[in-house]
């Protein structure tokens, strides 16, 4: 039976994982030549407009309540979804390398924690 681990060690481990993730983000940002600035004027307006249209029409046709406020909220939700999709698409060049660096650093911290709990004795 394994001994009961303390809450303090769990918090310390969680803090190490978060720090490793933030270090991975910082390392990915340092690899960029300049600050990350996607062209939002070009990339964001069309998907936001399409999302607003789909949200408003979907609320109008599918919803049982045809009030203007419901249609407006549907349009707002659709435009936010469209804008989020446009931002994700515009940031796809940095997202892949950043996620790889983050997972590499987190896995290193997890491996160190595992070796701390399960020491290997070669003697």
82 CA to centre of own chain: 16
Task: Specify the residue for token string 């990339």.
Answer: 43
Name the residue among 55, 123, 46 with its Cα closest to residue 63.
55
pTM above 0.75, yes or no: no
Quote the Cα angle for 24-30-32, to 5°. Answer: 115
Q: How many helices (H) and strands (E) does the chain have?
A: 5, 0
pLDDT tens-digit series, residues 75-99: 899 999 998 888 888 777 777 888 8
- Count how many residues are written for the chain: 123
């Amino acid at each position: 039976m394994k001994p009961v681990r303390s809450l303090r060690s769990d918090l310390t481990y969680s803090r190490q994982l978060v720090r490793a993730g933030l270090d991975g983000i910082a390392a990915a940002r340092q690899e960029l030549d300049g600050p990350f600035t996607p062209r939002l004027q070009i990339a964001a307006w069309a998907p936001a407009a399409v999302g607003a249209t789909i949200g408003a029409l979907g609320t109008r046709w599918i919803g049982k309540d045809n009030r203007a406020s419901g249609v407006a909220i549907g349009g707002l939700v659709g435009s936010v979804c469209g804008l989020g999709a446009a931002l994700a698409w515009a940031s796809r060049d940095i997202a892949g390398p950043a996620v790889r660096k983050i997972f590499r650093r987190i896995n290193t911290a997890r491996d160190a924690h595992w070796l701390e709990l399960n020491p290997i004795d070669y003697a």
